[in-house]
Structure formats: structure tokens, C-alpha cells
Copies of this chain bind each other. A is one copy, B any other.
Amino acid sequence: MSCEELLLARLRARGLRLTPQRELVLAALHHLEGAATAEEIYARVHAVSASVDISTVYRTLELFQEFQLVSSFDPGDGKRRYEHLGVEAPHHHLVCRVCGQVIPISHGDVRPLAAYLAETYGFVVDEGDLTISGLCAPCHAAQTNAAVPSDSMTPDYQTQQVET
């Protein structure tokens, strides 16, 4: 089942409609691989149809999150990132507090903690959207050496490949 068909099915199941705006947001997500800001998604949508409002983009992204078509995470720079979950399973993110690098990790990595929390507190951890703040390896090394390698200081939110 293609992504559009999946969306259509999810919408129909709740009596919602497949509108041009929603198609445009989905297309933008397809094109913008990896983690994109709402502003970036809006820019792509707006380029095709200038009348679409950014509030519609936000509402659509929220809807897509309910449908598990999209996950989002906040890397702590005040700009939430949205990721298309077409093929990838829901996953979590390690975000470096210093350089902003994002490392995706699978839910499997978090499962032992989730099991512990379920047993101890009866708390069921969501499979998506867990963002763990800390220091990536280069920044941690740099911090302990009190010297920061210059090539790790540029924030970029490109996601790495993760072995699953």
C-alpha cells in the first residue's frame, strides 16, 4: 500500500477528507527526507500553492502524527522537527546538547527501560517521540579535554543511519 493510500484509508476510517493541502504536506514530507522543520515543510507547500497557511501545515502535521505517519521531536533549539515514517519504524532520538547532532535509536534499545517502568510504575512508554538529551562522543571527549574539535560545532539535524 502506498503512502497516499495509507493516508486515505486512515482518513476515511475517521470520516475525514483527503484535501489538496494534506496531499501537499505529504508530498513535502516525501521530498524532505529526514527531519524537517514546520517552516521548511511550509516553504515547499507554499511554493506549490501560495494560499496554504502555515497553521494548516501545523494542523496537518499533528493529524499525521496521530496516524503514525509522522513523528516529531524537539532538539531543544525551539524548532520542532518532523520526520516521515514511511518505511522506518517509530524510533527515538539522542540529541547532543552541544553540537545538536541527532542520533536515531530503535525502540528496541529503550525496551528494557520501558519494561522496567511498566513493571514499577505501571507507566507505558510511547513508542515514538522520546528525545534523550546528552553529549555525543566527540563533544563529550572535547568537554573532558576542555577543547572542542572544530568540525563538530556546526549544528546539523541530519539523521544518521541506524542499524536495526
A interface with B by C-beta (< 8 Å): 74, 94, 96-97, 103, 105, 109-110, 112-113, 116-117, 120-126, 129-137, 140
Contact = CB atoms under 8 A, between A and B. Distances in A.
How many copies are assembled? 2
Contact of A122 (B110, B120, B129, B137): B137
A125 B135 CA distance: 7
A62 to B, nearest CB: 12
Main secondary structure of the interface of A (DSSP, over half): mixed
A40 to B, nearest CB: 21
Nearest to A162: B121
B134 A123 contact: yes
A124 B138 CA distance: 11
A125 B129 contact: no
19 contacts: A94-B117, A94-B121, A109-B113, A109-B117, A112-B113, A112-B116, A113-B113, A117-B134, A121-B137, A122-B140, A123-B135, A123-B136, A123-B140, A124-B134, A124-B135, A124-B140, A125-B134, A126-B134, A129-B133
A109 B105 contact: no
